[in-house]
A and B are shown apart, each in its own frame.
Chain A
Amino acid sequence: MFLISELVVLLGTNLILSQALGISTLFVAAGSRKNLLWTAITISFFTTAGSFGACLVNSLLPDSLYDLRLLLYVLIIGALYVILLTVLYFADRKNFGTTRKYVHVSAFNCAVMGTLFTISDKAAADPSLDNLGSYIAAGAEAGTGFILAAFFLMAGFGRLNSKEVPAAFRGFPSMLVYLGIISMAIYALI
């Protein structure tokens, strides 16, 4: 029962299916299952580690400088971007040409930036969520939601790109309609 309720929460708070955040990135990565999975994992890293930075920024930034929040979030993600590229370079130089593409695609997009803003807004609305643990948990949850949406897309990917679909609707258009139908089902579920 616990797992089912957690799954429903994960679906309900899914940023892709409920708020359409990161759709473009999901489609860019949709070329292959491997790309999709690794991009989703990399985005999860950015949302989780980025939420840690967002918590620090929100606690240190005075209200009068609220409008600088976007710039500071960009700098946090920029720092994570450089750190991750450096780690990947020294960890596995042989495959760096491939792995760096996932980092390039995953760093600056609506999924990551949108997650940071959504978490911050929730924390501002509910003070009990305004702590480091809640931020990181929400960041990890958003990343997991992205992986879940990637699995949904992978499940239908073959059929949506098959010759049975009219040429004009093959690929991206049918994927959008497919995600729309899943989003509608989740909306009805909640």
Chain B
Amino acid sequence: MNRKNSVFDGFIRDNAVLSGLMVISPIIVCGDTVMNAIAMIYAFSAITFISVLAGAFIPKKLSYGVKTIILAAIGAVVYIPVKFAAYDFFPSVMERTGIYFMLIAVNSLITVHAQVKFYRMPKGKMTVSLISHILGFDVVLFIISVIRELVAYGTFCGRIVDADVIISGLGMPFGGFILLGLCCGIYRSIVGAVRKNDDSAGGDSDVSDF
């Protein structure tokens, strides 16, 4: 059955992290506490949204490589005011996030996915699809950071909670690798099961259409 692509696919079915494995370095390294995650969510959402929208005005005639360089440069320019605002909102987190805050400015959603997917859509659809992709990343980062902070440090937003088991390794990058791999597999199982159900339901309607 042919399934029409939805502008909301970026949130679940075509999730940038779990399906596309994009922008996973900040999740693995910085996604160990909720406060880190909120700072990264803010930076990713602001930089990606503004950069991709601004990049939509780049002439289409330019070659792929030139457009990539311009998009990366736009991301690097947008990063500057976002960083200044972040120092007001999250002063204690900025040191911890380190270079990952800067690296978000050249994430693959801006440099690659924008050209391959977003700019082939009409502007309205592109904006909705972009927001759904950004939300997809934000939700995954938030969920993973909650799990990691609870299990690795026994805290939530820095406050101690009554956790029976502490696995401190989950706060390390290797813990991030393993947890993200497991989440990716679970996500695939769920999406696969949903698709199976959809296909069997769709199959009936296709037959009746004949």
A residues neighboring B (CB under 8 Å):
18-24, 27, 67-68, 70-71, 73-75, 77-78, 81-82, 85, 103-104, 107-110, 113-114, 117-118, 121, 166-169, 172-181, 183-184, 187
How far in angstroms is the closest Cβ of chain A from B108?
6
**Do B184 and A183 have beta carbons less than 8 Å apart?**
no
**Do B25 and A183 have beta carbons less than 8 Å apart?**
no
CA–CA, A114 and B30, complex, Å = 14
**Do A121 and B99 have beta carbons less than 8 Å apart?**
yes
Contact (A177, B177) CB under 8 Å given A108-B106, A167-B192: yes
Asked if B178 CB lies within 8 Å of chain A CBs, one says: yes
**Do A85 and B65 have beta carbons less than 8 Å apart?**
yes
Q: For B192, what are the chain A residues with a Cβ–Cβ distance below 8 Å? A: 167-168
9 A–B pairs (Cβ distance < 8 Å), ordered by A: A20-B24, A22-B25, A78-B73, A108-B72, A109-B108, A113-B102, A166-B185, A176-B180, A184-B172
Interface size of B by CB at 8 A reads: 44
Asked if B83 CB lies within 8 Å of chain A CBs, one says: yes
CA–CA, A167 and B174, complex, Å = 23
CA–CA, A73 and B111, complex, Å = 15
Cβ contact of A67, chosen from B22, B83, B173, cutoff 8 A:
B83
Contact (A173, B181) CB under 8 Å given A24-B21, A104-B68: yes
Cβ contact of B103, chosen from A114, A166, A181, cutoff 8 A:
A114
Q: For B182, what are the chain A residues with a Cβ–Cβ distance below 8 Å? A: 173, 177
Q: For A166, what are the chain B residues with a Cβ–Cβ distance below 8 Å? A: 185
Asked if B202 CB lies within 8 Å of chain A CBs, one says: no
CA–CA, A178 and B174, complex, Å = 10
**Do A23 and B28 have beta carbons less than 8 Å apart?**
yes
CA–CA, A179 and B177, complex, Å = 7
Cβ contact of B77, chosen from A71, A108, A169, A176, cutoff 8 A:
A71
- Using an 8 Å CB-CB cutoff, how does the interface string of B91-106 with A read, 1 for contact, 0 for none? 0000000110011011
**Do A70 and B24 have beta carbons less than 8 Å apart?**
no
Cβ contact of B99, chosen from A67, A117, A175, A178, cutoff 8 A:
A117
Q: For B181, what are the chain A residues with a Cβ–Cβ distance below 8 Å? A: 169, 172-178, 180
CA–CA, A104 and B23, complex, Å = 17
**Do A81 and B28 have beta carbons less than 8 Å apart?**
no
**Do A107 and B68 have beta carbons less than 8 Å apart?**
yes
Asked if B64 CB lies within 8 Å of chain A CBs, one says: yes
**Do B188 and A169 have beta carbons less than 8 Å apart?**
yes
The closest CB in chain B to the CB of A20 belongs to B28
Contact (A70, B79) CB under 8 Å given A20-B25, A173-B182: yes
Asked if B131 CB lies within 8 Å of chain A CBs, one says: no
Which 5 residue pairs of A and B lie closest in terms of their CB atoms, listed nearest first? Answer: A180-B177, A176-B181, A78-B69, A177-B181, A180-B178
**Do B178 and A176 have beta carbons less than 8 Å apart?**
yes
Cβ contact of A70, chosen from B64, B102, B108, B172, cutoff 8 A:
B102
**Do B72 and A24 have beta carbons less than 8 Å apart?**
no
CA–CA, A114 and B192, complex, Å = 35
